[in-house]
Amino acid sequence: MKTVSAILAMVVAVSFAALTACSKPGPAKGTTEKEKPGAKSPKSITVGFAQTGNESDWRRANTESVKSEAEKRGITLKFADAQSKQENQIKALQSFIAQGVGVIVLAPIVSTGWDPVLKEAKRAKIPVILSDRRIDTADPSLYVTFIGSDFVKEGRMAAEWLVKKMNGKAKIVELQGEPGSAPATDRRIGFLEVIKNYPDMQIIDSQSGDFLRAKGKVVMEAFLKKHKDIQALFAHNDDMAIGAIQAIEEAGLKPGQDIIIVSIDSVKAAFEMMMAGKLNCTVECNPLLGPMIFDAVEAVMAGKQLPKNTYMVDLVFDQSQAKDVIASRKY
């Protein structure tokens, strides 16, 4: 009996070994058959983020959104504040490439001059995601996707509101954003597209305020000294509009009444100004891009195709809505 038992045990062992040798190992725990060999989980990826600077409430909210979302997802974030200088951003990108980060996120200060460093990233096989601002390039393969707002549409919405408010007649001064930046260029394009259909809507002066509150005040002071018939102001962001409001008040005029003001961004300070009757309208440009950016990062890591442009949905707010909306503003 012992001999028979031993023989049966040996047969079972040999059969099991044969089955094991012929079987294909399944995916490791926590993975799927669709995952690519060597694919990294989001938590193992390092992302380099080259931010423009810290020039406004909008920018600070944008930075916080990116940082908090990276922390929430357990992604290592290397952050670089370019202090509004393109050369600093280029150095940051070169540093990210040298460190071998998994993905680069770039909020380009200006639209041009990016091809050489982005070609370096491409050669290093590091995907680049553009955030907030687009670039001018003949080679769209240098970046994977753009995530942000439609600046031309924002300019159109500001103009459409102002045309209606002024019944198609106004002498307008314009506070432009940073020269060469996509928002400054595109918001102007959109605004002009609309008012060209209204001959009595005239921009009588236009100058850059660099998206800065202090610069907006200085430029508006110059406008007021030069022109005595200003009826409306179009500011490319809320910070410049708030600076202009200070200049208008110091000139003895009532902002929001003597001069109608429309701006872009919809930061909380703009809603406070609307509640005070000093700002008439703000067009939204949502800075809370963090979730969308890291959705894209994770998609890129998974080898998925992304649309070339992903736009936020932005709204228009005027004084009548300010009280009801301000409490829900996160920036």
pLDDT in tens, 225-251: 999 999 999 999 999 999 999 999 999
Quickly tell me which residue has 């994977």 as its tokens. Answer: 144
Q: How far apart are CA 300 and CA 130, in angstroms?
A: 13
**Residue 162: pLDDT band by 50, 70, 90 thresholds?**
very high
Residue pLDDT, tens place only, 6-45: 333 433 343 433 333 333 334 333 333 333 333 445 457 8
Residue 329 has a pLDDT of 87
Residue 4 has a pLDDT of 35
42-149+288-312: which CATH architecture?
3-Layer(aba) Sandwich (3.40)
Structure tokens at 100: 């071998």
Strand partners, 282: 263, 317
> For the ranges 8-17, 176-185, 189-198, 312-321, which has the lowest average pLDDT?
8-17
- Burial letters 73-111, b for 16+ CB under 10 A, else e: bebebbebbbebebebbbebbeebbeeebbbbbbbbbbb
Average pLDDT, the chain: 89
Pinpoint the residues of the chain covered by CATH 3.40.50.2300. 42-149+288-312, 151-285
> For the ranges 15-19, 61-65, 265-269, 311-315, which has the lowest average pLDDT?
15-19
Quickly tell me which residue has 């595109």 as its tokens. Answer: 186
> What would the CATH number be for the domain defined by 151-285?
3.40.50.2300
Residue 112 has a pLDDT of 96
